[in-house]
Amino acid sequence: MPRTRQELEELERRTLAPYAQLSAETRGRTHPEPPPEWRTEYQRDRERIIHSRAFRRLEYKTQVFLNGTGDHLRTRLTHTMEVASVARAIARALRLNEDLTEAIALAHDLGHSPFGHRGEAALARLMREHGGFEHNGQSLRIVEELEQTYPNFPGLNLTWEVREGLMKHGVPGDHPLRRAGVAARHPSLEAQVADLADEIAYYSHDLDDGLGARLLSEEDLTRRVRVWARAARRVQREHGRLPDECRRYFIIRTITDSQIRDVVQTSEKLIEQAGVRSADEVRQWPRPLVQYSPERRRENLELRRYLYRNLYFNPEVSGPNTRAVRVLEKLFAFYLEHPEQMSRQARQRVRRDGLHRAVCDYLAGMTDRYVMREYERLFGTAF
For the chain, the residue count is 383
- Asked whether the beta carbons of 350 and 141 are under 8 A apart, the reply is no
Question: In this predicted structure, which of 179-193, 296-310, 326-340, 364-378 has the lowest mean pLDDT?
Answer: 179-193
Least confident of 111-115, 116-120, 138-142: 116-120
Whether residue 252 has pLDDT greater than 90: yes
| Distance, CA of 52 to CA of 363 (rounded, Å) | 18
Residue spans per domain, the chain: 5-19+41-319
**167 burial via Cβ count (<10 Å: 0-12, 13-18, 19+):** middle
Q: State the pLDDT confidence band at 196, using cuts at 50, 70 and 90.
A: very high
Write out pLDDT tens, residues 83-98.
999 999 999 999 999 9
> What's the average model confidence in pLDDT over 34-59?
96
The per-residue pLDDT of the chain, averaged, comes to 91
* Sign of CA pseudo-dihedral 317, 320, 326, 331: negative
> Are 300 and 204 a contacting pair, CB within 8 Å?
no
DSSP string, 284-320: HSSS-SS---HHHHHHHHHHHHHHIIIIITSHHHHHH
Q: Residue 47: pLDDT above 50?
A: yes
DSSP conformation class of 334: H
CA distance 166 to 37: 26
* Cα(296)–Cα(302) distance, integer angstroms: 10
pLDDT of 65:
63
Mean pLDDT of 315-336: 86
What does the CA dihedral 373, 374, 375, 379 come to, rounded to 10 degrees? 120
pLDDT beyond 80 at 344 = yes
DSSP secondary structure letter of residue 345? H
Burial class (CB in 10 A: 0-12, 13-18, 19+), 146: buried
Q: Which numeric CATH code is attached to 5-19+41-319?
A: 1.10.3210.10
Distance between CA atoms of 74 and 69, rounded to whole angstroms? 10
Confidence at residue 382, expressed as pLDDT on a 0 to 100 scale: 65
Alpha carbon distance 156, 267 (integer Å): 32
Amino acid identity for residue 136 in this structure: N
pLDDT score of 63: 73
pLDDT of 277 above 60 = yes
Give the whole-angstrom CA distance, residue 1 versus residue 154.
34
Q: Tell me the mean pLDDT in the region 213-218.
A: 90
**pLDDT tens digits for range 283-306:** 999 999 999 999 999 999 999 999
> Is the pLDDT assigned to residue 134 strictly greater than 70?
yes
Say if residue 381's pLDDT is above 80.
Answer: no
pLDDT at 380: 82
Lowest mean pLDDT among 83-92, 202-211, 333-342: 202-211
pLDDT at residue 255 in the model: 96
The DSSP result for 101-126, as a single string, is HHHHHHHTTTTPPTTHHHHHHHHHHH
pLDDT band at 229, cuts 50/70/90? very high
Geometric angle at alpha carbon 276, from 22 and 283, rounded to 5°: 65
What's the CA angle centered on 98, arms 94 and 104, to 5 degrees? 115
User: Do 51 and 221 contact (CB within 8 A), yes or no?
Assistant: no
Nearest CA to 111 among 55, 150, 60, 69?
55
pLDDT band at 177 (very low <50, low <70, confident <90, very high): low
- For residue 290, report the phi and psi dihedrals to the nearest 5 degrees: -105, 110
For the cut 90, the answer to whether the pLDDT of residue 23 exceeds it is yes
Q: Which residue type is seen at 366? A: M
Section 131-159 average pLDDT:
93
- The mean pLDDT of 299-325, rounded to a whole number, is 86
- 332 pLDDT tier (thresholds 50, 70, 90): very high
Q: What percent of the chain has pLDDT over 90?
A: 76
Residue 312 has pLDDT above 90, yes or no: no
Q: At a CB cut-off of 8 Å and minimum separation 6, what does 284 contact?
A: 177, 182, 183, 184, 185
pLDDT of res. 263? 98
Instruction: Give CA–CA dist 95/12, Å, rounded.
Output: 10
pLDDT of residue 180: 47
Dihedral sign for Cα 121, 350, 150, 368, please.
Answer: negative
- Residue 378 CA to residue 307 CA, distance in Å, equals 36
The separation between CA 154 and the C-alpha centre of its own chain, rounded to angstroms, equals 22
Tell me which residue of 279, 325, 302 sits closest to 117, measured CA to CA: 325
Q: What is the model's pLDDT at position 53?
A: 95
CA 201 to the chain's CA centroid:
10
Q: What is the reported pTM?
A: 0.93
CA 262 to mean position of chain CA atoms: 21
Instruction: Please state the rounded mean pLDDT for residues 243-257.
Output: 93
